[in-house]
């Protein structure tokens, strides 16, 4: 049996795929550990998961504060802040903890999230093989290719940090999507394994009886993800107006406020467990939410806000599995029309079903574990 160490930032969407893949490796008898922020990791991982600290509560609070500042930015300031104030400093801060974890756990393979730059840096210095956990597929197609000066600036930052571009491993890049969504030519090291959903832990209560109340025949989830919720007040208000009177039950992830009778508002939900009970999803275009929805054959209304979300939204539209809205300008009438389209026009659900089939064929966490075992075998 082998030893696998997952290196992750304190972001739920980045931890979740590793929880699934790590759970699969544990089920096969391997030794598995995670290194990052224990307070973020523990609720998302299997019981008794082995966790090494690389981020303390003080640093995690600083990251959350920076995140709030980041959400207020627009244009190129978003990218500049992301790299200079978040990603590179986070990499430096995590290096001592990751180095200590490697010395204590002695992994055969390090699996580093693409935004946990300390992982590949420490792996390279320690002579340990490493793989990339690509929590979003957007960077694979290099969205900065049309802005060569910006692309060169990012590469310079990476060179200063690690003497090279360490975002993606030359041995293995686990991509939690499929070529039904991600166009392009890729090397053999890039493994499209589809969403990793098995072995996931969701410790959030939900009033399941609410889903069978009333006469509404269909159910919809509205979520702007764990990073964008506070910035979504205007959009969520428009959604509430849009769904008032529609024959649908709506579960909205948000702090409770006055809402129509057909809307249930909760600050958090067991999203993966909810998916089989839904007919459509309204989202900001976060990679996890989109792929979880498509893994259940659910069409989407996507209103991307920033970062990789426009690329993910374009993937959904290109696949025919959803409707894209302009987040900053979408009004209630636009949202209502888009939602009615994906619910009532069967081609959207049919296209989502085709993506679902591609995900099933990709293999999920089991396929990811197979590929990681091959890294050990050489």
Separation between Cα atoms, residue 206 and residue 209, nearest integer Å: 9
3-class secondary-structure state, position 177: coil
Nearest to 198 by CA among 360, 374, 12, 31: 360
Domain coordinates in residue numbering, the chain: 3-194+363-377, 208-360
| Tokens (6 digits) for 260 | 């129509």
- 187 in helix, strand or coil? coil
Identify the sign of the CA torsion 354, 137, 19, 278. negative
Place of tokens 């089920």: 27
Is residue 164 left, alpha or beta, with left meaning phi > 0 and alpha meaning psi from -120 to 50? Answer: left
User: How many H-runs (helices) and E-runs (strands) does the chain carry?
Assistant: 15, 13
Q: What is the DSSP letter of 84?
A: I
> Rounded distance, CA 237 to CA 255, Å?
12
**Structure pTM?**
0.93
Task: Tell me 252's DSSP state.
Answer: E
CB 299 within 8 A of CB 322: yes
How far apart are the C-alpha atoms of 267 and 257, rounded to whole Å?
11
Asked, colleague to colleague, whether 3-194+363-377 and 208-360 share their fold, the answer is yes
Q: What is the pLDDT of residue 227?
A: 54
What pLDDT is recorded for position 186?
92
Tens-of-pLDDT digits for all 378 residues of the chain?
999 999 999 999 999 999 999 999 999 999 999 999 999 999 999 889 999 999 999 988 988 888 778 777 777 888 888 899 889 999 999 999 999 999 999 999 999 999 999 999 999 999 999 999 998 888 887 666 677 888 899 899 999 999 988 989 999 999 999 999 998 889 999 999 999 999 999 999 999 999 987 778 899 999 997 655 555 788 999 999 999 999 999 999 998 889 999 999 999 999 999 999 999 999 999 999 999 999 999 999 999 988 889 999 999 999 999 999 999 899 999 999 999 999 999 999 999 999 999 999 999 999 999 999 999 988
Alpha-carbon distance of 23 to 191, in angstroms, equals 19
In sign, the C-alpha dihedral spanning 105, 108, 111, 116 is positive
CATH class of 208-360: alpha beta
Which top CATH class is 3-194+363-377? Answer: alpha beta
3-state SS assignment for residue 224: coil
């Amino acid at each position: 049996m082998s030893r696998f160490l997952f290196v992750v930032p304190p972001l739920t969407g980045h931890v979740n795929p590793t929880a699934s893949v790590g759970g699969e490796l544990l089920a096969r008898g391997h030794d598995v550990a995670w290194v990052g922020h224990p307070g973020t990791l523990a609720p998302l991982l299997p019981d008794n998961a082995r966790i090494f600290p690389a981020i303390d509560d003080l640093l995690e609070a600083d990251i959350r504060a920076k995140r709030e500042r980041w959400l207020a930015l627009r244009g190129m300031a978003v990218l500049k802040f992301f790299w200079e104030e978040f990603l590179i400093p986070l990499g430096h801060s995590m290096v001592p903890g990751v180095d200590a974890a490697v010395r204590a756990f002695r992994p055969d393979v390090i699996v580093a999230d693409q935004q946990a730059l300390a992982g590949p840096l420490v792996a390279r210095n320690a002579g340990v093989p490493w793989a990339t956990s690509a929590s979003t597929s957007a960077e694979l197609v290099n969205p900065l290719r049309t802005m060569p000066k910006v692309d060169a600036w990012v590469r310079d930052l990476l060179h200063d940090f690690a003497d090279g571009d360490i975002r993606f491993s030359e041995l293995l890049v686990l991509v939690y999507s499929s070529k039904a969504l991600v166009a392009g030519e890729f090397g053999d090291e890039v493994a499209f394994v589809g969403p990793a959903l098995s072995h996931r832990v969701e410790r959030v209560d939900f009033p399941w009886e609410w889903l069978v109340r009333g006469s509404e025949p269909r159910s919809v989830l509205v979520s702007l993800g764990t990073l964008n919720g506070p910035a979504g007040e205007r959009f969520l208000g428009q959604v509430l107006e849009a769904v008032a009177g529609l024959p649908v039950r709506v579960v909205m992830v948000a702090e409770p406020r006055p809402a129509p009778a057909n809307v249930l508002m909760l600050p958090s939900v067991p999203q993966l467990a909810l998916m089989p009970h839904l007919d459509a999803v309204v989202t900001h275009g976060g990679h996890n939410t989109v792929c979880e929805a498509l893994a259940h054959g659910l069409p989407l209304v996507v209103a991307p806000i920033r970062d990789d979300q426009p690329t993910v939204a374009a993937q959904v539209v290109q696949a025919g599995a959803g409707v894209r809205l302009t987040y900053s300008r979408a009004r209630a009438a636009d949202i209502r029309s888009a939602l009615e389209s994906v619910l009532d026009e069967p081609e959207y659900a049919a296209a989502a079903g085709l993506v679902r089939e591609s995900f099933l064929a990709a293999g999920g966490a089991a396929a990811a574990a197979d590929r990681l075992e091959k890294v050990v075998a050489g």
